Amino acid sequence: MEKFALPEGFLMGTATASVQIEGGDKNNTWYKWCEEGHIKDGSHCITACDHWNRVEEDTELLKELNVDTHRMSLEWSRVEPKPGIFSDEAIEHYRYEIQLLIKNSIIPFVTLHHFSEPLWFDEMGGWTKEENSRYFLEYVQYVVEKLGDLVTDWVTFNEPNVYTKFGYIFGMWPPGKRSLLKSFKVYTELIKTHIKAYDIIHSVRRLKGFKGETKVGFAMHIRIFCGISPVGKTLAKAVDYLFQELYMEGMIRGKIKFPLPKNGYRYCRGTYVDFIGINYYTRNIVEFVFSPSSLFHSLKCDKELEKNDLGWDIYPKGIYQVCKKYYERYKLPIYITENGISDKNDEKRPNFIANHLANVAKAISEGIDIQRYYHWTLMDNFEWLEGESAFFGLYHCNFKNQIRTMRPSGKLYGMICKEKKLTEEMIKEFQRN
């Protein structure tokens, strides 16, 4: 467990997503995916953590952790249950939830698209049709008009690369497509839509006279890809380019790079984020396999590294490496929008948190402008294809009775959030308890 100190003003928080915790919504694509039996453990997002009915209770959990900020997502299917029809009830619910955060001195950080979409949007063809992006942009406009007086900080899309890979290339997530060419079209549509949403959010808050500096970005899943053999190293560069670089250059600089189709887009020089959002979990070794269905590569783990419950490498140094890489390239503030570990028994999470934050502190000491860290996640939740069988929470959630229980790592994280450092004395205190 590494000691560290973070600068004054550094913000510590937690992150959650609507489908993963709220429960009760039957109008989104993940509800349909669950109904069709795709979830590995047979669980269902209709249950999740029942957060929709437990907002007050879960806000108390955040207070107990001493967080400065909390990243949450809105469920588009709740806010716009039918095309062009917006729900006053849903937006008032979210308004109340955000006001609770503010009342407790927790800065809200709102994500507009976190992997799920209304069923009607999917039935229209989703992102494969250029004309459909207008629905998302209308939703963005409505939400910012209704909540922009409370929220200054926004994420347009969470992990567009993961969404595209699993939803449109390998067909493992909704909408369940398997087409590389179609996925490239979706890449372009998401990039174009992010740029327009960026302008809408800034414009609405400015025209409405809402107070506070507007900050807009996207949260990108960033991995370290490395190769051992010459072929593996070449493949690692290709995977990095296709999985990460296309979106980074597109959403940050507005560039539609090869092999993405232009879809009528004209490049306008500019910067379309106010921060770089990085979701960092692990690294992979890339190897060649003769399999067109896997795009001729496989992702392996390092036998020498410790693993989480899902078999992912634990590689704290990687968070330093990706922050250094992208800060040196873009010279924009960095938010760690997600970082966490599946660890049911909570044996590895304390060290995971400490060692990753130590690498964040190291990066900051070298002049890299990292301003925030959001731990994934507040409590065990519905973890997409893994269902209820992946345990990322600082709190254990008993899905049968919905009792939340703080794990020891939650106590450690609460100490760090309060002190903005980890000292030898704090380590000893944690180990005694």
pLDDT for the residue 269: 84
Residue 433 has pLDDT above 80, yes or no: no
Q: Which residue has the higher pLDDT, 417 or 263?
A: 417
Q: Which of 312, 299, 326 is nearest to 238 (CA)?
A: 299
Q: Which of 130-144, 289-303, 340-354 has the lowest mean pLDDT?
A: 289-303
pLDDT for the residue 372: 98
Residue 121 has pLDDT above 90, yes or no: yes
Contacts of 68 (CB under 8 A, 6+ apart): 11, 12, 13, 105, 106, 107, 417
Q: What is the DSSP letter of 149?
A: T
Q: What confidence tens digit (pLDDT) does each residue in 401-413 have?
A: 999 999 999 999 9
Q: How many CB atoms lie within 10 A of CB 375?
A: 30
Three-state DSSP class for 82?
strand
What is the average pLDDT across 98-107?
A: 98
| Structure token digits, residue 230 | 């010459």
Question: Looking at the annotation, which residues are catalytic?
Answer: 159
pLDDT for the residue 291: 86
pTM greater than 0.95 (yes/no): yes
pLDDT for the residue 288: 87
| Structure token digits, residue 144 | 């910012």
% of the chain at pLDDT higher than 70 = 100
Residue 45 has pLDDT above 90, yes or no: yes
pLDDT for the residue 178: 95
| Structure token digits, residue 277 | 């959002």
Q: What is the DSSP letter of 343?
A: -
Q: How many CB atoms lie within 10 A of CB 179?
A: 13
| Structure token digits, residue 283 | 């690294």
Q: What confidence tens digit (pLDDT) does each residue in 184-227 have?
A: 999 999 999 999 999 999 999 999 999 999 999 999 999 999 99
CA pair distance 236, 106, nearest whole angstrom: 40
Residue 271 has pLDDT above 80, yes or no: yes
Per the document, the length of the chain is: 433
pLDDT for the residue 210: 98
What is the average pLDDT across 371-381?
A: 98
Q: What confidence tens digit (pLDDT) does each residue in 138-152 have?
A: 999 999 999 999 999
Q: Which residue has the higher pLDDT, 296 or 249?
A: 249
pLDDT for the residue 83: 98
pLDDT for the residue 263: 82
Residue type present at position 70: H
Residue 137 has pLDDT above 90, yes or no: yes
Q: Locate tokens 């899905």: which residue? A: 399
Residue type present at position 375: H
Peptide bond preceding 69: is omega within 30 degrees of 0, i.e. cis?
no
- Per DSSP, the residues of 67-91 read -SEEEEE--HHHH-SBTTB--HHHH
Q: What confidence tens digit (pLDDT) does each residue in 226-239 have?
A: 999 999 999 999 99
Question: 264 falls in which pLDDT band (50, 70, 90)?
Answer: confident
% of the chain at pLDDT higher than 90 = 95
- For 297-340, list the strands marked E by DSSP: 297-300, 334-338
Q: What confidence tens digit (pLDDT) does each residue in 61-81 have?
A: 999 999 999 999 999 999 999
- Give me the residues paired with residue 72 across strands: 110
Residue 268 has pLDDT above 80, yes or no: no
Per-chain mean pLDDT for the chain: 97
Residue 292 has pLDDT above 90, yes or no: no
Could you tell me the CATH superfamily of domain 4-432? Answer: Glycosidases (3.20.20.80)
What is the average pLDDT across 245-274?
A: 93
